[in-house]
Amino acid sequence: MITLKGKVHYVGINDRTKTLFEGLWPLPYGVTYNSYLIADEKIALIDTVDVNYFDLFLKKIKEVIGERPIDYLVINHMEPDHSGSIRLLRQFYPNITLVSNKKALDMVEGFYGTGAQTQVIAEGGSLELGHHTLKFHMIPMVHWPETMVSYDTTEHILFAGDAFGCFGAMNGTPIDSMMDTTVYWSEMERYYSNIVGKYGAPVQKALQKLGGLELEMICSTHGPVWTGENISKVIDVYDRLSRYATEEGVVIAYGSMYGNTQQMAETIAEELAKEGIRKIVMHDVSRINHSFILADIFRYKGLILGAPTYNASIYPQMEMLMSEIEMREIKNHYLGYFGSFSWACHSTKKLSVFSEKVSFETVGAPVEMKQGMKECTRIACRELAKAMADRLKEDR
């Protein structure tokens, strides 16, 4: 049994077998599905877990409350990794009341067809459990439209749904003060950029709405339970990323079939270093999962994309990355680009169209290379790098 504080217990699950989150994003350290149980005069379970782990989930619940019934299931977020056990849970606790907002409860019916007993709550609504009182705040589009958070006014705990979440299973404990949290900070940035990244404006609204709450714990549905000084650090990470704030540095993301386009990328990187840009990250879009590329793009101000022409279009993995960047509506970046071709140039045209769609400032002249590297191409790559470096240094 893992007790967080007083009558509040952790009954979440570690998933160390899933390799891709949402079938897309690598999980080198696994992931958690966090659920919380308040064992008061009335018992409230906050969110559930992936249905594949229901048996273990039920054992953890019974370890806390024995054969007592669960009075309420509070649903902060309806994604199946958190709501997936609702149908089975109702078989064991047929009198349980599902507590959430109307949008979420409509989704319960759509996903699980439960016909369950429900209690609809709205912004500022509350639920009395005895010693504990839960108060509810809506944070739509962080990152689904039904998303809300539940605030324990007694213990000053924020049950935050996917907000403030991160990748990574827990090693022995979910409580940050009892573990080495080093890996989770980078996994939080990757989680945000991959999963939440499109919704910067709603995240900012949520932060403003929750800003006046006294917080002693943040209990997300993924990642550690955050306490003490880490609470402000977690909030700062989400604030920075949702404002699309960046640091000086350049991501060079490129595709290359035979090494020629890579030579252009290497030349650009060398010149950036000569110009005093210390943080340069190079990603081959065919070798590195885009999850990690997106996290670096969120981190650094400069972005230089390059790819060869492919089937009268652009290298497919670059086209995918461009789409991923565009759909996240990333802002406040500087963009440069380059392309290569053998007999008909289409890649730089595609990159030009991309540059017009995104909210980036284009710097330098695009570079096109026909067939192999020549001195004129090398000079043009250096000029592109210098233009990017000069623009970054203007912000110092």
Instruction: For residue 178, give both structure tokens.
Output: 């009892």
Which is it for strands 97-100 and 72-74: parallel, antiparallel or unpaired?
parallel
Instruction: For residue 15, give both structure tokens.
Output: 């998933």
CB 330 within 8 A of CB 197: yes
In order of their start, the domains of the chain are: 2-242 (3.60.15.10), 247-390 (3.40.50.360)
> Letter for the amino acid at 121?
I
Other C-beta atoms closer than 10 Å to the C-beta of 128 total 11
What is the mean predicted confidence (pLDDT) over 102-112?
94
Report the predicted TM-score, pTM, of the whole model to 2 decimal places. 0.94
Q: DSSP secondary structure string, 193-239?
A: IIIIGGGHHHHHHHHHHHTTS--SEEEESSSPEEETHHHHHHHHHHH
Q: Would you state the pLDDT for residue 113? A: 86
pLDDT tens figures, 169-190: 999 999 999 999 999 999 999 9
pLDDT tens figures, 258-309: 999 999 999 999 999 999 999 999 999 999 999 999 999 999 999 999 999 9
CB 166 within 8 A of CB 194: no
Q: Categorize the per-residue pLDDT at 359 as very low, low, confident or very high, splitting at 50, 70 and 90.
A: confident
Which secondary-structure segment (H or E) carries 135? strand 133-138
Per-residue b or e along 146-167, where b marks 16 or more CB atoms closer than 10 Å to that residue's CB: bbbbbbbebbebbbbbbbbbbb
Q: Would you state the pLDDT for residue 116? A: 83
pLDDT for residue 114 is more than 80: no
Helix (H, G, I), strand (E, B) or coil at 323: helix
What order of strands is seen across the sheet that includes strand 225-227? 126-128, 133-138, 148-152, 157-161, 217-220, 225-227
Helix intervals (H) in the chain: 54-65, 80-83, 86-92, 102-112, 182-191, 200-210, 229-242, 260-274, 290-299, 316-327, 347-357, 375-394
Q: Would you state the pLDDT for residue 1? A: 86
Scanning the structure block, which residue is given the tokens 């970054």? 392
